[in-house]
Amino acid sequence: TKLRVYELAKQLGISSKKLITILEDLDVTVKNHMSTIDEDTAKLVIELIEEESGKGKKKSAQSYDTKKSEITSTKTEDNNKNERKVITIPRKISVKDLGVLMGIEPVKIIKKLMDYGLMVNINAEIDFESAKKLASEFEFDVTEEKEDGQDLLIKEESDDPKDLKPRPPVVTVMGHVDHGKTSLLDAIRQTSVTKQEAGGITQHIGASEVEVNGKKIVFLDTPGHEAFTAMRARGAKVTDIAILVVAADDGVMPQTVEAVNHAKAAGVPIIVAINKIDKPAANPDRIKQQLADYGLIPEEWGGDTIFVNVSAKAKTGIDQLLEMVLLVAEMSELKANYNCKARGVIIEAKLDKGRGPIATVLVQRGTLRVGDGIVAGTSYGKVRALFNSRGKRIKAAGPSMPVEVLGLSEVPTAGDILIAVSSEKEAKSIAEEQKNLQKEPEYNTPKKISLNRLFEKLQKGEVKDLNLIIKADVQGSIEAIKQALEKCSSDQVQVKIIHGGVGTITESDVMLASASDAIIIGFNVRPDSNAKKMAEKEQIDIRTYRIIYDVLDDIQLAMKGMLEPEY
Ligand code: GDP
């Protein structure tokens, strides 16, 4: 008798998204299409849809209300007949939601709570036990909502501060092509390898650990901001610190700027490594001047960005760079709980002929142990073996540690969240739930911002910032649009230009928009075909213009909720 949102949507032949909007109109709050709804609500929706199609007219909010009160009154009659109904509620529920579930006016519930000596308002949350007691007064039996597997994968549990211990920083190296990202990573790995290990084969697992002054630093082996933002777009926050590599003989280039903005949008601190300092043409001061334009101001000029001169080739400045990483890590107070079930992110995954699916997991919380049940996306299993970044077999891996995991049923996708559960059986059932979800066409299409939805989101208080990415044919236009748009900020909404660049709209821009819930504005430029495809998939709003005034006009109208939809 209990239905998932997507099941009912299927029955009704409408999209889950539409159903969720209808439910919202009915004051029934559901988390996503996996959420369950009770029979009465389902019936109500079915009636409404039938009525709607019968009349062939758009439903007005008023008739929802009429319907609702009809149902409510029949329910009250039922109650009088002493028929106890069963409702399913989560561990915590608001007075309002409980009222909706029971079909009873919140006022009555609040009165009842006052009888218990509790003064609460309609939005107050009450715990399961109180809700149960209360519901029983209204002749309802209560069962507890079981957590969806998906919830488990999405939800970040919060830790008691006293359980938190320091963890090593995770670092990504970013910068323009050929500025020396790969060389720098190599140099870092080499300087930190002990003599004993030097002869051995260093295995590539997607991340490496180095030790400086007895402290660990973890490096992600894939350089570049694209990988970094792609992970973030999938919901995985992995990097704590970004090292921005700029070649001293070349200067700030388009991808340097992109990297800066991608790191900033993620709120990740940046350390600048001025590379190729061994070259005669090296001019570190010029780099500092150029980067100052993007808000990266060196300490000696009164800013707070750390700059280090390095040469990946001559291996100079590497130790100093690593010390600075530790310094920034210390200031960031990176901590994690070591004593709980593990949760991590898939960094890399492949199929090995002999050993089956192999995934590199960066553990972010808890400790992953051999024998744990694990699930990542639709892949599940039991940890058969763990290997560290040096290829050594280990029994357990704690926070910030990259490990190779053997024992998954299929190859997961980079960016997937991996969680450890009590048994392989539980892992399997969560993975199956994920599989069902993926059959849903609505899967992976979270509600992204668009100019048309801006006003609605503003009113609901869902957004406070309007994040924009501006691409244009010339730098001058970007500046002009930026200045004009930033003036549009109002009390309710802050217009933020998170990235501006010259050239066509690329996949990288779409990724950033997806990760930062931003809208892309193209001025005299268009998206390339890959960007177009990705924007469709990620539901990113791309608007192109030829006249600056039109950009301003649209943004201002959108902020007032008066923008005509684009067809
Ligand atoms: P990436 O594209 O950013 O990963 O750059 P690479 O690491 O592939 O380096 C690009 C080129 O610059 C290669 O030919 C390197 O040998 C060279 N290179 C990298 N670092 C240095 C350096 O510190 N000094 C000099 N002279 N050349 C370097």
**Range with the largest mean pLDDT of 14-18, 80-84, 219-223, 250-254:** 250-254
Task: Give me the sheet containing 465-472, strands edge to edge.
Answer: 494-502, 465-472, 518-523, 542-545
Distance 310 CA to ligand 1 centre (A): 12
The predicted-structure confidence for 174-189, as pLDDT tens digits, reads as follows: 999 999 999 999 999 8
Assigned token pair, 183: 């060389």
Q: Are the C-beta atoms of 361 and 385 separated by less than 8 Å?
A: no
CA-nearest residue, atom 6 of ligand 1:
180
Atom of ligand 1 nearest to the CA of 223: 4
Ligand 1, atom 17, residue with closest C-alpha: 180
DSSP class of residue 299?
G
What pLDDT is recorded for position 93? 81
Q: Give the pLDDT band (50/70/90) at residue 154.
A: low
To the nearest 10°, the Cα dihedral for 418, 419, 420, 422? Answer: -140
What angle, rounded to 10 degrees, do the helices at 254-265 and 225-233 form?
30
* 430 touches 152 (CB < 8 A): yes
For 374-406, the DSSP string reads EEETTEEEEEEEEE-TTS-EESEE-TT-EEEEE
- Please spell the DSSP secondary structure of 503-556, one letter per residue: S-B-HHHHHHHHHHTEEEEEES--B-HHHHHHHHHHT--EEEES-HHHHHHHHH
Residues 6+ apart with CB under 8 A from 147: none
Burial class (CB within 10 angstroms; exposed 0-12, middle 13-18, buried 19+) of 411: middle
Residue scoring higher pLDDT (348 or 201): 348
- Tell me what the mean pLDDT of segment 286-301 comes to: 93
16, two tokens: 């889950």
Distance of CA 187 from the midpoint of ligand 1 (Å): 11
What mean pLDDT comes out for the span 277-296?
94
Q: Is residue 134 over pLDDT 90?
A: no
- The answer to whether the annotation marks 177 as part of a ligand binding site is yes
What does the pLDDT look like over 322-380, one tens digit per residue?
999 999 999 888 999 999 999 999 999 999 988 899 999 999 999 999 999 999 988 99
Which residue is closest in CA terms to ligand 1's atom 14?
Answer: 178
Atom of ligand 1 nearest to the CA of 185: 7
What is the number of the ligand 1 atom nearest to the C-alpha of 175? 3
Determine which residue's CA is closest to atom 19 belonging to ligand 1: 180
- Does the annotation list 223 as a binding residue? yes
CA atoms of 449 and 53, how far apart (whole Å): 30
The residue ranking higher by pLDDT, 558 or 33, is 558
Dist CA 350 CA 91 (whole Å) = 39
User: Could you give phi then psi for residue 501, rounded to 5 degrees?
Assistant: -155, 160
Q: Residue 400 — left, alpha, or beta (φ > 0 → left; ψ -120 to 50 → alpha)?
A: left
- Residue 403 pLDDT exceeds 60: yes
Q: List pocket residues of ligand 1, CB cut-off 6 Å.
A: 175, 177-183, 223, 275-276, 278-279, 311-313
Residue 278 marked as a ligand binder? yes
Query: Is 303's pLDDT higher than 50?
Result: yes
Place of tokens 């009525």: 51
**CB within 8 Å of 62: residues ≥ 6 apart:** none
Residue 251 scores a pLDDT above 60 = yes
Q: What is the CB neighbour count within 10 angstroms for residue 312?
A: 25
pLDDT score of 483: 87
pLDDT at 564 over 60: no
Q: Which of the listed ranges 140-149, 188-197, 497-506 does the model predict with the highest average pLDDT?
A: 497-506
The Cα–Cα gap between 264 and 254 comes to 15
The tokens of 554 are what?
A: 């649209």
Give me ligand 1 centre to Cα 296, in Å.
Answer: 23
Beta strands 3-4 and 36-37 are antiparallel
Name the pTM for this structure.
Answer: 0.69
- Residue 320 has a pLDDT of 94
Say if residue 80 carries a ligand binding annotation. no
Cα-based angle 303, 304, 310 (whole degrees, multiple of 5): 105
Q: How far is the CA of 391 from the centre of ligand 1 (A)?
A: 27
Q: What is the mean pLDDT of residues 463-490?
A: 87
Ligand 1 center–CA 311 separation, angstroms: 9
Q: What is the pLDDT of residue 72?
A: 46
Q: What is the pLDDT of residues 202-231, one digit of tens each?
A: 567 888 899 988 899 999 988 888 888 888
Gap between the Cα atoms of 537 and 342, Å rounded = 31
Mutating to test ligand 1, I would choose from 178, 226, 246, 309 the residue with most ligand atoms within 8 A of its C-beta, which is 178
Reduced to 3 states (helix: H, G, I; strand: E, B; else coil), residue 9 is helix
The pairing of strands 241-247 and 92-94 is: unpaired
As a whole number of angstroms, the distance between CA 100 and CA 64 comes to 13
Taking 50 as the threshold, does the pLDDT of residue 166 lie above it? yes
Which has the minimum average pLDDT: 23-37, 198-212, 261-275, 326-340? Answer: 198-212
20 is in an annotated binding site: no
Please tell me the distance from the alpha carbon of residue 75 to that of residue 40, in angstroms, as a whole number: 9
Tens-digit pLDDT profile for residues 78-122? 444 445 677 777 777 888 888 878 888 877 888 887 777 777 777
Helices 318-332 and 181-192, interaxial angle, to 10°?
90
pLDDT > 90 fraction of the chain, expressed in percent and rounded: 42
pLDDT confidence bin for 60, thresholds 50/70/90: very low
Residue 224, marked binder: yes
Q: Atom 25 in ligand 1: which residue has the minimum CA distance?
A: 276
Q: Would you say 400 and 363 are in contact if contact means Cβ atoms under 8 Å apart? A: yes
Centroid of ligand 1 to alpha carbon of 184 (angstroms): 8
Whether 271 has a pLDDT exceeding 80, the answer reads yes
Q: Are 497 and 485 in contact (CB under 8 A)?
A: yes
- Interval 375-387 mean pLDDT: 94
Contact by Cβ (8 Å): 343, 364:
yes
- Ligand 1 atom at shortest distance from the alpha carbon of 314: 23
Q: State residue 130's pLDDT score.
A: 80
The tally of CA atoms less than 13 A away on the side-chain side of residue 563 is: 23
Nearest CA owner, ligand 1 atom 22: 276
Between the CA of 504 and the centroid of ligand 1 the distance, in Å, is: 27
Mean pLDDT over the full length of the chain: 83
Q: Rounded to the nearest whole angstrom, what is the distance from the C-alpha of residue 35 to the centroid of ligand 1?
A: 51
Whole-number Å distance, alpha carbon 177 to ligand 1 midpoint, is: 9
CA dist., res. 436 & res. 474, Å (int): 47
Q: Give residue 59's pLDDT.
A: 41
**Minimal-distance CA residue to ligand 1 atom 24:** 276
| Backbone conformation region of residue 95, classed left if phi is above 0, alpha if psi is from -120 to 50, else beta | alpha
